[in-house]
Chain A
Amino acid sequence: MNSGPALVSILRQGDTLVASVHTALDDSQMVRFQEDLVRQIGDHRARGVIIDVAALDVIDSFAARTLRALAEMARLRGAVTVIVGIQPDVAMSMVRLGMGMGAVATALDLEEGLGYLADLTSVPREGLRP
């Protein structure tokens, strides 16, 4: 199962977990990813989760549902989830097929996602915002 390059990498940065999906996942891989991530939120006592899907050129309805479920599970475990890097074409086809991200936060890319979490968790400092 674990042969070949990693499909997903989960890195810890402070109290944030950054999960990058490198390639399209099939349904069972998606479920495994979900389990891994939810477990690691507890292990690392993470407060924020960023899922970077920039490498995906397709997000099907199962993937979208799993991501939404993941965000909800993370919330129950005490972490805020941000989905980042949805490409224009992907966004368009998701919307046209009637699948959204529900109440899950989304951001343009990793940097924006980190900024969003920083705004949520820290007291705004002078000069942080334009």
Chain B
Amino acid sequence: MTDDRTDMLSGQEELARDHLLPQLVAHLREHRARLRDEWAGRIREAHLLEAMTPREMVAETTSVYDNYVEVLETGSVEALQHYARDLSERIIPRGVETHEVVGIVLLLRDVLARSLFEKYQRDFGLLNEVLDAYEPAANRIANTVAVSFVEERERVIRQQQDAIKELSTPVLPVRERLLILPIIGVLDSERARQLTEQLLNGIRTHRAKVVVIDITGAPDVDQTVANHLVQTVDASRLMGASVIITGLSPTIAQTLVTIGVDLGKMNTIGDLQGGLEEAERLLGYRVTRTGVSDAS
């Protein structure tokens, strides 16, 4: 039943497209400059794409317009998809939002629809048929552009997440049996788990006895993060390494005391330098100046 109806509809559409789309496309081509300017005016009125310069606006609106008409003509969205992805790649770094992109495509749809009303106002039946041909194609275009934009944005986000993940937790040997783990950026549960795993494997690989975890670069520490830190310290201890935590800022120290996290068992030292000195002391190193310095 449903299938029948779909078939009928698409049959109707096909018929309409065969007869009317060429006419429609010819109309849009003929009034290209006027319609494009009208569209650009509407975009300005709606304060969309303000990140772009007027010259870029002209260039982009022209190519979007031409692509739009081409899709109406050929019915193939492939070229448009490609263009939309390309466009997204260019404008995403400039802070263009999803609602703007969807907004301008819908505006173009409206501008073109208005021009159709104007052209066919004498013949209501014909107007209906033209709209039957125009609307599904126009909606598909809006859909394609929006999806391409969002997909591109998600791709960028995924890429950045991967980059952060790779960069985030280097376990660095500084001396024999001494590791440093600088934590930079926000520490969420997933990262904390990954970090602990890397640290424990690092302890085994480097046979570390002391680990200095420096959280100078962590913007904020809450209950969850503090608990993760405690777990990391305990797990390291089970593997025979003692942990020194450095770089607790005054704000973080206040937060920790206020929310009542028990860090009593943790060895904390003000800054990384102090932490390294303490670690060297634990390992039995004594660093002395030779008296000869290249720096002076």
Chain A residues close to B by CB (< 8 Å) = 83-84, 86-88, 90-92, 94-96, 100-101, 106-109, 112, 129-130
User: How far, in angstroms, from A30 to B204 measured CA to CA in the complex?
Assistant: 26
Q: Is B238's CB within 8 Å of the partner chain A?
A: yes
- B204 cross-chain contacts in A, Cβ below 8 A: 87-88, 108
Flag if B239 contacts A91 (CB, 8 Å): yes
One of A91, A129, A130 near B238 (C-beta < 8 A): A91
- B207 cross-chain contacts in A, Cβ below 8 A: 108, 112
Task: Other than A88-B239, A92-B231, A108-B203, give 18 A-B pairs with Cβ distance below 8 A.
Answer: A87-B204, A88-B197, A88-B201, A88-B204, A91-B200, A91-B235, A91-B236, A91-B238, A92-B196, A92-B235, A94-B238, A95-B231, A95-B234, A100-B238, A106-B237, A108-B209, A109-B240, A130-B283
Q: When A88-B197, A95-B234 are in contact, do A130 and B285 touch as well, CB less than 8 Å?
A: yes
Chain B residues close to A by CB (< 8 Å) = 176, 196-197, 200-201, 203-204, 207, 209, 231-232, 234-241, 283-285
User: How far, in angstroms, from A129 to B237 measured CA to CA in the complex?
Assistant: 20
Flag if A112 contacts B235 (CB, 8 Å): no
User: How far, in angstroms, from A107 to B208 measured CA to CA in the complex?
Assistant: 10
One of A88, A96, A101 near B231 (C-beta < 8 A): A96
A-B contact pairs, 12 of them (CB 8 A): A83-B238, A87-B204, A88-B201, A88-B203, A88-B204, A94-B235, A95-B234, A95-B238, A101-B238, A108-B203, A108-B207, A108-B209
- B234 cross-chain contacts in A, Cβ below 8 A: 95, 100
Residue of B231, B238, B283 most packed against chain A (CB within 10 A): B238
- A88 cross-chain contacts in B, Cβ below 8 A: 197, 200-201, 203-204, 235, 239
One of B231, B240, B284 near A84 (C-beta < 8 A): B240
Main secondary structure of the interface of A (DSSP, over half): mixed
- What is the distance, in angstroms, from A107's C-beta to the closest C-beta of chain B? 4
Main secondary structure of the interface of B (DSSP, over half): helix
Flag if B197 contacts A92 (CB, 8 Å): yes
User: How far, in angstroms, from A96 to B230 measured CA to CA in the complex?
Assistant: 10
- B240 cross-chain contacts in A, Cβ below 8 A: 84, 106-109, 112
- What is the distance, in angstroms, from B156's C-beta to the closest C-beta of chain A? 33
User: How far, in angstroms, from A87 to B231 measured CA to CA in the complex?
Assistant: 15
- What is the distance, in angstroms, from B178's C-beta to the closest C-beta of chain A? 10
- What is the distance, in angstroms, from B241's C-beta to the closest C-beta of chain A? 7
User: How far, in angstroms, from A77 to B110 measured CA to CA in the complex?
Assistant: 90
When A and B form their complex, which 8 residue pairs have the shortest distance between CB atoms, in order from nearest? A88-B200, A107-B240, A129-B284, A91-B235, A91-B238, A108-B240, A95-B235, A95-B231
- What is the distance, in angstroms, from A109's C-beta to the closest C-beta of chain B? 8
- A108 cross-chain contacts in B, Cβ below 8 A: 203-204, 207, 209, 239-241
The chain A residue with its CB closest to the CB of B283 is A130
- A92 cross-chain contacts in B, Cβ below 8 A: 196-197, 200, 231, 235
User: How far, in angstroms, from A16 to B285 measured CA to CA in the complex?
Assistant: 28
- B231 cross-chain contacts in A, Cβ below 8 A: 92, 95-96
User: How far, in angstroms, from A130 to B283 measured CA to CA in the complex?
Assistant: 7
The chain B residue with its CB closest to the CB of A84 is B240
- What is the distance, in angstroms, from A15's C-beta to the closest C-beta of chain B? 21
The chain A residue with its CB closest to the CB of B230 is A95
- A95 cross-chain contacts in B, Cβ below 8 A: 231-232, 234-235, 238
- A109 cross-chain contacts in B, Cβ below 8 A: 240
- B176 cross-chain contacts in A, Cβ below 8 A: 130
- A83 cross-chain contacts in B, Cβ below 8 A: 238
Flag if B238 contacts A106 (CB, 8 Å): yes
The chain A residue with its CB closest to the CB of B203 is A108
The chain B residue with its CB closest to the CB of A124 is B284
User: How far, in angstroms, from A91 to B238 measured CA to CA in the complex?
Assistant: 6
- B200 cross-chain contacts in A, Cβ below 8 A: 88, 91-92
- What is the distance, in angstroms, from A88's C-beta to the closest C-beta of chain B? 3
The chain A residue with its CB closest to the CB of B177 is A130
